[in-house]
Amino acid sequence: MSLSELVLTAQWGFLLFFAALNGGYLALNLISVVSLWRLQQARDLDRLPQLYAGAEPPVSILVPAWNEQATIVASVRSLLQLHYPEFEVIVINDGSGDATLEVLIREFALQPFPEAYRVRLPSAPVRGIHRSARHPTLVVIDKANGGKADALNAGINAAQYPLFCSVDADSILQRDSLTRVAAAFLDDPATVAAGGTIRVANGCEVKSGFLVRTGLPRTWLARLQLVEYLRAFLFGRLGWSPLNALLVISGAFALFRKEAVVEAGGYRTDTVGEDMELVVRLQRTRRLAGKPCRITFLPDPVCWTEVPEDLATLKRQRIRWQRGLAESLARNRRLLFHPRGGTAGWLAFPFTLLFEWLGPVIEVGGYAFLGLALVAGLMSFEAAAVFLLVAIGFGLLLSVSALFLEEMSFHVYTRPGDTLRLLAAAVLENLGYRQLMALWRFAGFVAALRGGRARWGTMTRHGSWQRPS
């Protein structure tokens, strides 16, 4: 094969990959549009008496906290004020090196409370349990550091209710979020997990645990992530959910059936993607055992969380996410094309394997190939333009369509000029930001292949969206 033929073959290979990638996302978009249309119809029924009002199963809310003194009080206050019939809040202080525990003791009048519970999942040693003198439903577990997954396992051991909800310590739930996400378990008894939408809290205003004003982030880096989140949740997860093929629900806000998780072995502590790994493992173990398994995404339950506003923190996050993806797929590879794998094993797993796990390698390779071919004079500018149109143009279409559906369905950002700013962010996201994310995900791919234990690293929290009570 001559050099020109090799270049032509590579050119068509990269073009076909980007076309297949964006074609898959467009198909998910169409499913999402239908789902949102049905959601709009269901909203008209919200004014009627609710079928399940008061019948929701009790929930244990687990909040793993490590060095979260800047945001933990607002998060706990928001949880204590949820509109839900019966729940408890369990904060797990995972050996914080800052004043997280001291802040909780002071703000909620915590007192030591010796309490025995059944240890069903292993965890690092528990040093003490506290209960609030002001809020009988608030429990704080103080334990040695073991990581987020280890903290969640300790919380599951202490949880007394059949459902548990994992919530990040830097997040704020809307008052009706828990009621809305719990409806999935009442609608279908086969449901073992359900998750809601994660929205960007940067630029919003929270007082006493309440979200009192929504707004766009001040920094463009956070705005780009806002568009990215809209596309990932409104299209990605909403598209897979009707197919019962979800492989991930965000660990920042997820509701699980406790017995199903305990039976599956709880959270793994040897991965940095414990939330995705658990969901994929639930799909694998239950489907291969012939047990009913439905994992659902609902766009209405909303959790607000802070996103990184500096490149260093964002880079660590995306490398960690890619490593977690690789570990989740590798450890549950039996699900791939298994006769009992269903849509999760025959559609979602190969799609994720090709486009999410291997995708960054092909994407970075494609851009590198484009640059080298142009410099060497092996590709015409017309061919390069077609390449960029497929690689970037479709991405721009996806981002803008996500904004359009966001405005039509939810219209969260209402200040004058917000729509134009979001539109500008959607354009900029495809002109440098997504390419940078692909490069960092490629680094995560390489790190996963090299092996070794991954570390979370320090995540800087500003808490600028919180206001004094």
Q: Which of 45-49, 59-63, 75-79, 342-346 has the lowest mean pLDDT?
A: 45-49
Is 0.85 topped by the overall pTM? yes
Residue with tokens 């072995």: 265
116 pLDDT higher than 70: yes
Q: Chain-wide mean pLDDT for the chain?
A: 88
How far apart (Å, rounded) are the C-alpha atoms in residues 217 and 228?
13
Predicted local confidence at residue 256, as pLDDT: 98
215 pLDDT higher than 80: yes
Q: Which of 8-17, 145-154, 334-343, 427-436 has the lowest mean pLDDT?
A: 8-17
Predicted local confidence at residue 48, as pLDDT: 44
Predicted local confidence at residue 182, as pLDDT: 94
Which residues, other chains included, contact 319 with Cβ-Cβ below 8 Å and sequence gap of 6+? 440, 441, 443, 444, 447
- Residue-wise pLDDT for 390-415, tens only, equals 888 888 888 888 888 788 778 888 88
Alpha helices in 289-344 (DSSP H): 311-331, 342-343
Domains of the chain with bracketed CATH: 51-317 (3.90.550.10)
How far apart (Å, rounded) are the C-alpha atoms in residues 304 and 429?
21
- Residue-wise pLDDT for 219-250, tens only, equals 999 999 999 998 888 778 989 999 999 999 98
Residue with tokens 């017309």: 382
How far apart (Å, rounded) are the C-alpha atoms in residues 297 and 92?
26
Rounded average pLDDT over 196-201: 91
Best-predicted range by mean pLDDT (283-292, 302-311, 367-376, 388-397): 283-292
Where residue 49 falls among pLDDT bands split at 50, 70, 90?
Answer: very low
Q: Tell me the CA end-to-end span of the chain in Å, nearest whole number.
A: 71
Which residues, other chains included, contact 427 with Cβ-Cβ below 8 Å and sequence gap of 6+? 396, 399, 400
Predicted local confidence at residue 26, as pLDDT: 86
Radius of gyration of the chain (CA): 23
Q: Percentage of the chain with pLDDT > 90?
A: 58
Cα 177 from chain centre: 15
Which residues, other chains included, contact 199 with Cβ-Cβ below 8 Å and sequence gap of 6+? 226, 229, 302, 303, 304, 305, 412
Q: Percentage of the chain with pLDDT > 70?
A: 93
Copy the structure tokens of residue 437: 């994310």
Where residue 143 falls among pLDDT bands split at 50, 70, 90?
Answer: very high
How far apart (Å, rounded) are the C-alpha atoms in residues 198 and 233?
8
Where residue 444 falls among pLDDT bands split at 50, 70, 90?
Answer: very high
pLDDT greater at residue 183 or residue 465: 183
Best-predicted range by mean pLDDT (13-17, 65-69, 138-142): 138-142
Rounded average pLDDT over 338-356: 96
Rounded average pLDDT over 168-197: 91
Rounded average pLDDT over 51-60: 78
